[in-house]
Amino acid sequence: MSEDLKSRTDAAKTSFGFARVGEEAKQGLVNEVFARVAGRYDLMNDLMSGGLHRLWKDDLVAWLAPPKSAGPFALLDVAGGTGDVALRALKAAGAGTSATICDISAEMIEAARQRAGGAKLGFVRGNAESLPFAESSFDAYTIAFGMRNLTHLEAALGEAFRVLKPGGRFLCLEFSAVEMPLLDRLYDAYSFNVIPALGGLVAGDSAAYRYLVESIRRFPDQENFVHLIENAGFERVRYRNLSGGIAAIHSGWRL
């Protein structure tokens, strides 16, 4: 194979966990994972993290600090899953805050609908890399544990910038690079041995949870993700490590 052809072939590949797949195939594979686990998604999150994901999402909403006033404030929660972040934000905010969940998985959106009750929550099925919203539509954009499942991070970050109003805020909660010695080895052992086994036992799908563990290792570390966010046009980009870097929240502003 010529070097030019090899380069073009490699360029058309992306990671699906530790596997290499065609870019056009990845989204469908990710969709299959979440379709299979939607019914046990919240239970598995609790079991895998020992409930820590709840505290991390509380930290995300606390850093967002949605306004308590009655004035309008529009939140877009991308890859919003079963509604954890959007419902937390609405609970913390004033009467003027509305939230829209945008997720590519119909099964996850249905799970969120069932949880929503009478909350001021909208649902839109859409791709984070090509959002079905007009420019400057939202005051804040959140994404929790969804960014690493995307094929083109730069496209998704560009879309986040596009749909935010000037002065709007981007917040991403994602698994990251553990920065504490010893904890990193313990975390690896737990991730690769316990989580897939739990997935098999509780959700009946160890392969899906093996992918989720592998996808964490393919995601940029804290500083490299800062650079990607800045390259999308965001300013005042910062991050906070959670639980020694097991997860991190990144924040940026469209100014």
pLDDT digits (tens, 9 = 90+) for 99-122: 999 999 998 899 899 889 878 899
Helix (H, G, I), strand (E, B) or coil at 171: strand
DSSP assigned state of 245 = G
CB-based contacts of 234, cutoff 8 Å, min separation 6: 157, 161, 170, 252, 253, 254
Q: Strand 73-78 relative to strand 138-144: parallel, antiparallel, unpaired?
A: parallel
Lowest-pLDDT choice from 29-43, 82-96, 134-148: 29-43
CB-based contacts of 193, cutoff 8 Å, min separation 6: none
| Residue 243: C-alpha distances to residues 91, 141, 148 (Å) | 25, 23, 19
CA distance 40 to 118: 23
pLDDT in the model for residue 229? 98
Q: What is the pLDDT of residues 212-226, one digit of tens each?
A: 888 899 999 999 999
State mean pLDDT over 179-207. Answer: 87
The two tokens of residue 239 are 């991050």
Cβ–Cβ < 8 Å for 154, 147: no
| pLDDT surpasses 60 at 240 | yes
DSSP assigned state of 177 = -
C-beta atoms surrounding 224 within 10 Å: 10
pLDDT in the model for residue 30? 66
**CB neighbour class for 135 (10 Å; exposed up to 12, middle 13-18, buried from 19):** exposed
DSSP assigned state of 73 = E
pLDDT in the model for residue 20? 75
Please compute Rg for the chain using Cα positions. 18
Class of the CATH-defined domain 34-179+210-254: alpha beta
State mean pLDDT over 32-42. Answer: 70
Q: What is the pLDDT of residues 152-186, one digit of tens each?
A: 999 999 999 999 999 999 999 999 999 998 999 99
What pTM did the predictor assign?
0.87
The two tokens of residue 244 are 């020694």
Cβ–Cβ < 8 Å for 140, 168: yes
The two tokens of residue 92 are 């913390």
